[in-house]
Amino acid sequence: MLHNTFLHIPGIGEKTEKQIWQAGIHCWEQWREPLPATLPQTKTRLISMQLAQFRSRDNGSARFYADLLPAGHLWRLFPHFRAATAYLDIETNGLGWDQCEITTIALYDGQTIRTYIQGRNLEEFINDIERYEIIVTYNGKNFDVPVIESCLHTRLDQVHIDLRHILARLGYRGGLKGCEKQLGINRMDLEGVDGYWAVLLWQEFERTGSSKALETLLAYNIADAVNLEALLVHAYNLNIVDTPFSSSHFIPLPLPPDPPFRPDLQIIRKIRELRQSRYME
């Protein structure tokens, strides 16, 4: 959608963009005489001038275009910069901001899964994330990113697509798991496991050194990150339904990767019993 949008031009809104599309101009390359008579000459001159600049910057960075697009339309960058996009999720010890610590981080780029564990390789995340121009989270603007920046003493300057807001505008709410269910994403053995479970799994690992507890936590963390790609594809396809590109720009749902860790059902039963006992106290 990057070469099909005109919203990056100052003064051009969604209504004008639809008028341009209705005139048969569906991309930057098609902007030529005769220009749409429905638009005032001041706008056509502005668009012509801006597009001349953008055509010369076809290899512009994601940040260059993101700074020009309205905040709610960053999803339009996705296909153009998909190879430079990373999906990110963290787990913590569940304490307040003043005592919050990251326990694990999962990073997925559509091909490779990377995991980072407190006390092992957490700091490696800082260098690895620099490979990407766009990061995708669910509610990461309020949680994941500020926690990472605080705990790892770094800055994440990538373009940030927060799916919580994009999906909410499409009518999908209820948290990450709620949106997954509404869009048909099945968590299989991790169904019902949530962020509080992740805290209990880390506590179990710290208390007993159980590799199964850690691997179950990592499997959960990875599922959070990997499923963001499918959610972004859903959001992209839903956003283009009412455009001339609903068929030509449709993106098939990605196949999930083979997970490097799998949840241990015995550990899940143990954590479920622990959670129930705490709830009864």
* 178-194 burial: b if 16+ Cβ within 10 Å, else e: ebbeebebebeebeebe
What pLDDT is stored for residue 278 in this prediction? 66
What is the CB neighbour count within 10 angstroms for residue 48? 13
Instruction: Give pLDDT, residue 49.
Output: 87
Report yes or no: 198 and 267 within 8 Å, Cβ to Cβ.
no
**118: number of Cβ within 10 Å:** 18
Task: Give the torsion sign (CA, 70, 75, 78, 80).
Answer: negative
pLDDT of residue 57: 61
Beta-carbon count within 10 A of 259 CB: 15
| Predicted pLDDT of residue 279 | 58
Counting residues of the chain whose pLDDT is more than 90, the rounded percentage is: 70
Q: Which CATH architecture has domain 82-280?
A: 2-Layer Sandwich (3.30)
End-to-end CA distance of the chain: 53
Residue 127, both tokens: 């260098």
pTM recorded for the entire structure = 0.93
- Helix/strand/coil (H, E, C) string of 44-86? HHHHHHHHHHHHCCCCCCHHHHHCCCCHHHHHHHCCCCHHHEE
E strand map for 168-239:
none
Low-confidence ranges of the chain (pLDDT < 50): none
Which amino acid, 245? Answer: F
- 102 contacts 139 by C-beta, under 8 angstroms: no
Which pLDDT score is estimated for 191? 84
DSSP string for 105-154 = EEEE-SS-EEEEETTTTTTHHHHHGGG-SEEEESSTTTTHHHHHHHHTT-
* CATH 3.30.420 domain locations along the chain: 82-280
Q: CA-CA distance, 201 to 199, in Å (whole number)?
A: 5
